[in-house]
Structure formats: structure tokens, C-alpha cells
Structure 1
Amino acid sequence: MTEYVIIHSNLKYDQPRRQKPGDQVRREEMRSYCENLLEQQSSTTAQLTDRRGAQGSPDPRRNNKDPSATPLRWKLATIVLGILCLMLLIATGVLGYNEVQLGREQDSLVKQVEHLTSELMSCQTPILPVTTMEKPKDTGKKCPGLWTARQERSYLFSPEKGTWEQCNSSCISQSALLLMIESKEEQGFITARSFEYAEDRGSSAYYYPFWIGLSFDSNKRMWVWTDDSALSSGLFVLSDPSPHNYDGGARAYLQGDKVKPGGCGETRFCICEKKKKAQGKKKT
């Protein structure tokens, strides 16, 4: 604030008297003195005001700012952050969708590879212990070459594929018949031997199928062996109880530890069985 100094002066006027020649001069000097004193006071006040302003005293002009400037900055910052968050959310969604699609495509490719591998392996001939494709000849001994002996019988896991009828004819040509299982012990022996003919297909082993001498007689409505004897009810149960669903009649084959029905026109490997020949007494 501007400070003003008030100077009071008491002027006393005597009764009118006769002015002297020096009174006028003294009055002029007094007036000049008062004016100089007022000017000095005003100058001092102005200097004090300027000095306070230079030292950081409040300046009304400094407080005259736009009140909407600060809120506007916050609004702009909020809008920018919102846009960035939206872009980040969209990018996250796109990446998640792409990841799901890639996972589905990968699963589809894996399934296709497994399917193609299965088809390829099914078309290949397994490596069996029999190294030659020629049929073993009957030498008249108890167990011909390449056959496996057990008690009074010999068994051949043939490396050749054929229909059920072809396998049956092949066994007959070797003085044998398609396998006829007559007991649990024989079934266990044959099953253990069949486990040797398998290949690894990823998570599980694939066992090669072999025709056996069992077929379904539609007239008798039962499963019978090649010698026309009926299948024993306590021996094993076929996995498919509906043999009527196969064109041309159902035939049985062994795969691993299971006996399954199949169509007679399908091709599989064969198991032939030969019984020991009865030897007569020599004449003396």
C-alpha cells in the first residue's frame, strides 16, 4: 500500500497589521519548503513499493490466470491414457484370438499326422520272425521249420496276408488247419506269442491281427470251428456280439489278447496249427 504523510501546520493570523516588506518572501519560502517535502515523501513511497514487488510480494497481475488451464491439462492427459488403455486391450484380444487359432490348427495337424501315420503303418507289412516269404515245407517231423512247438502241436504265425478263405487254404496246403483254441492254457500261449508281433504307435502298441479257424454259422446261429465243433462258452467272448452285420458272414481273428469278428473279405495274417501225426508200430 502507498503510505502518505500528513503534515499539520497551525497558522496563526494576528490581527491585520501592516505587512512588512519581508513577510511576503518568508511565505514564499515556506510554501516552497512544504511542496519539496511532499515530493520527497511521494518519491520515498514509490521506491518502497517497487522494492517490495521485486522481492516477491504478491502481484495482482500474477494471480490473474486462466482458471480452466489446469483442468484442461488433466482432461487431455486422461483422454490420452484412455486411448492407450483401449489400444492395449484391443492388442491383448487380438493376441489371445491368434493364440487360440494356432492351438486349434496345431491340434488339427497333429491329428492328421497321427491318421496318416496309422494309414501308412497299416499298409506296411510287419517284420515277423519269418524272414522268408516261402511257405515252410512239411518234413514229417513233429515241428516243421519256422514253426513253434508246444506239447503235441506246432503253430505258425504266417507272414502272408489273405482273406479268411485264403488263409484256410494256405494252412491246409501245409497239412495244417487254421488255429482252433481248445483250452485256456492254449489261449494264453497263443496270446503271449501274438504280443511279439506289434509296433509302437505313439501312446500305445498296435498288435497285428491274425485269422483263426472260427466262423459264424448263420443256420446254427453260433460260432463254430473249422471242424464244425461249437465254441465253448467259457473260453472267451467276442468283442462284437452282432455277427450278422458282416457281409458274406463273420469270421474271427486274434489281435493282442482279444478275439474279434471281421468280414470274410478282409485281409489279415494267419495262424496255422498242426497236430502231431500218430505213428504206427513197425512190423517185425
Structure 2
Amino acid sequence: MSEAIYDKPDMTKKVKFDRGETEERIVDIYVSADTLRDHETSTKTEDVEHTSTKGPGDQHTGQLQTSYNNVTKEGDQLQTRYNNLTKERDQLQTRYNNLTIERDQLQREKDDLLEKFSNSGWNKFESCWYFVSTERETWSESREDCLEREADLVIINSREEQTYLFSLKKGVWIGLTDSETEGSWKWVDGTPLNTSYWGSNQPSKDGDHSTNQKKDCVELQGGQDQPEKTWNYLKCDKKRNWICEKCNK
């Protein structure tokens, strides 16, 4: 079939046409062209009418949608900020609760100390409590008693403290010794001696340093005229009163 269409026509053949048939075909062609033209015109008109329907109302709807989107975005940002502030508030609340617990614990410890030391032979000076014995024991026995009281032999850290202890007017053991290394004086907490209040010619460099005569412990002598010259070192097996000390840390 397709080959017959593209074959060259035979111009030698004579073809007869009926005039009426020709005119009828011509009319059909013109009618078909007019119909096609009218259809294209109608289609273009519909497109124009469809386009023209997008008036101010549609633009207003678009603006409303944009505004809604912006408000929604701001709402999300505010929600995020609110969540962050809530988290920070909860963290601060937790910290406050922990500090309150620590405060209450410290208050209980303070109350316990006050109850323990009040009316039991303890005296307060600045931030420390002092217990002055009424008995006399060796240096080691005296320290053992202090440790049983959850304290230790007194460590003198200032001139004011030295003056306060001097005012008690008692010869007492203090927490100073060179028992580990001769001439290297240390307090019972292991700290080296920095400021001293030795009496005259103390500690002496001469004397008997044999085992039975070794002087490794220190007493604060009472009955002296100068509070800053009252330390005396002597044998640790001598019996003296003692002072226990417990400081708030």
C-alpha cells in the first residue's frame, strides 16, 4: 500500500473527471478548512478566557499563603527558643537543688560541731576549736587522745593564735616534732615549720642526744613574760597537759 502512494504517476494515461464531483470535492475542502480555522479560533479564545480568570483574588490568595508560611516559620523559631529556655531553666533548677542540698549538709555539720564542742571543754578562737586537757600525758599519748576526739595536737599558724594559746597560761604539748629527722621540725600534718616562737636558746644545739636523752617534742611553756618566746623542746616521754585543735575547712 505504502509503495503505491510514493510511485510516480503515469502521465500518459487519460483520466476523466465528472465536473459535478469535482465541484463537490472543492466545496468539501473549503468547508473542512473553515471548520479547522473556527476550531483554532475557539481554542485560543478559551485559553484567553482561562488566563483572564487569574485576577486580583488569586493574587490575594498567594499573599495570604506567603504570610501564613512566614508566621508558621516564626512560630517554629519561637517554639525552639522556648524549648531552649525551658532546658536552661531545668538545668538552673537542678543546680539550685544541688546547692541547697550542700548548704543543708554544711549546716548539719556545723550544728553537729557546735553540739559536740559546746559545754564539753572546747573553746572557739577564730575558725578553730581547742580542747585543753586537765590531765598530763606523754606527747604520743596526748596526740592519741586528740585523734580519738577527731582532732589533733594544735598547729600554730599565726601570731594571734600563739598569743591566744599563751593566754591559757598552761604548759602544754603542741603538734611539733623532729622525731623523723633531727633538726627538721614538722607539724603533725606533715607541713614544715616556717614561723617559730622559740624561747631563749631554743632549740639548743648542744646537750645529750643519746637515745634516752633525745629531745624531739615541743611544749608551749606557761608563766612566761613574752608570748612570742614560749616554745621549749624536751623529751617526748615527759608528761604535760596538751591542746587538741579542730578547724572548720
- Between 1 and 2, higher relative CO (CA 8 Å, sep ≥ 6) is seen in 2
Is the strand fraction higher in 1 or 2? 1
Q: Which has the larger radius of gyration?
A: 1
The TM-score, its normalising length taken from structure 2, stands at 0.46
Is the helix fraction higher in 1 or 2? 2
The TM-score, its normalising length taken from structure 1, stands at 0.40
